[in-house]
Structure 1
Amino acid sequence: MTEEQQSQIFQEWLNEHKGILFKVIRSFAQSAEDQEDLFQEISVQLWRSVPKFKAESKVSTWIYRLALNQAIKWSTKEQRRPAEEHKEEFSRLLYQQAPADNSRLNWLYEQIHELEQTDRSICLMMFDGFSYKEIGEVVGISENYVGVKVNRIKEKLTAMSKKLN
């Protein structure tokens, strides 16, 4: 694969699946600076992974797995910045594609951020309509256990929303 082909695929993936990236980023990083750092980490890893994609799963599933794994690594270790040559491009993409300010959406991301890492991953994929089987494959648990966890997450988020009222 040429670098030009890699770049074209990378750009297509970013354009088509930016929602996945922003959901993961907002769920794992709260400050704008941390969100930018995590976006850069995920973007660099996504760029590197383009040639490794074998189409054994959907692109969206592949990107979710990659983004969640990077977010988990990022949140459990010392945060480090990617190579400076990509920093400006990734920052531009993050701010260009950032969702509009919405207090309800911000509240939801704050609550999701409070969940355990696995529950965050399940929650995000559930919101995007992934099947329990697909979620289980990405997260590494059985399809049945995904169902159990989804019910517990719904109960927890419902209880959190009632505290507001």
Structure 2
Amino acid sequence: MEQSDQEKRFSTVVGENRQRFGKIARTYAGDAAEDLLQEILLQVWRSLPSFKGGSACSTWCFRVAINTALTYQRKQFKKANEASSELLDTNASVETTSEQQTRSLFVRFLNTLSEIDQSVLLMHMERLNPSQISEVLGTSEAAVSTRLSRLRSKLASWEDDNG
């Protein structure tokens, strides 16, 4: 693919998916969302020449963004674990807004889930239907529907315990 063709295609893809990329970045990285968003955009740029159109472009973009976010989150988790003893000594409590508290609660719930369940939930929240989610994950619609049902039940019981 020629450079100018790739630039045009990239610009189109980003224009159509930037809001989705931003939501994924905010969900997985919180205050560091801009860093993750840059990682997602970089990965889309690098991967774009290999996109052959076997699935919808939006589905492909979602897959790239989720995989990048999960990799980013694992790296951050590893860094946090390495520095946890230092942070425990210097961590001060800060009052948060209602929105930050809600996001924090949601992220805590997300962290209780497996990576696949996190992906299913986020795609569902992005209003992807089970068919689209199954295409991204390479699984059946029935499996996605079952996961969504189990996630609803888990969230309801988790809210009772933590909300």
Same fold flag (TM > 0.5): yes
**TM-score, normalization: structure 1?**
0.70
Pairwise CA distance, 1:159: 3.6
Q: Cα deviations across residues 119-162 of structure 1 (Å, max 9, x unaligned)?
A: 11101211233232331232243322211110111223334445
Q: 1:112 & 1:63 partners in 2: Cα distance?
A: 25
| Structure 1 residue aligned with 2:39 | 41
Q: Percent identity?
A: 32
Unaligned ranges ≥5, structure 2: 78-96
2:29 counterpart of 1:29 = yes
Q: Tell me, in whole angstroms, the C-alpha distance in 1 between the residues paired with 2:117 and 2:76.
A: 22
Q: Superposition RMSD on alpha carbons, in Å?
A: 2.7
Could you tell me which residue of structure 2 aligns to residue 122 of structure 1?
A: 120
Kindly indicate whether residue 134 of structure 2 is the aligned counterpart of residue 143 of structure 1.
no
Q: Distance in 1 between matches of 2:152 and 2:138?
A: 20
Deviation at 1:164, TM superposition (A): 7.2
Matched, 1:60 2:58: yes
Q: Which residue of 2 aligns with 1:18?
A: 18
Query: Is structure 2 residue 107 aligned with structure 1 residue 110?
Result: yes
DSSP 3-state at the match of 1:20:
helix
Rounded Cα–Cα distance in structure 2 between residues aligned with 1:102 and 1:44: 32
Indicate how the Cα distance of structure 1 residues 43 and 133 shifts in structure 2: closer, same or farther if over 3 A, else same: same
Contact 1:26 1:109 in 2 (8 A): no
**Which amino acid is 1:16 matched to?**
E
Q: Deviations over 1:22-75 (max 9, x none)?
A: 222223223x23x22221211111011222221211111000111111112222
Count of aligned positions:
142
The one-letter code matched in structure 2 to 1:37 is D
Answer yes or no: is 1:3 the counterpart of 2:3.
yes
Larger Rg: 2
- Give the direction of change, closer, same or farther, for the CA distance of 1:159–1:19 in structure 2 (3 Å limit): farther
Question: Match of 2:40, as an amino acid?
Answer: I
2:59–2:135 CA contact under 8 A, matched in 1: no
For the Cα contact (< 8 Å) 1:27–1:112, is it kept in 2?
no
Q: State the Cα deviation string for residues 88-145 of structure 1 (Å, max 9, x = none).
A: xxxxxxxxxxxxx982863674355333321111012112332323312322433222
Q: C-alpha distance in 1, partners of 2:140/2:24?
A: 22
TM-score w.r.t. length of structure 2: 0.71
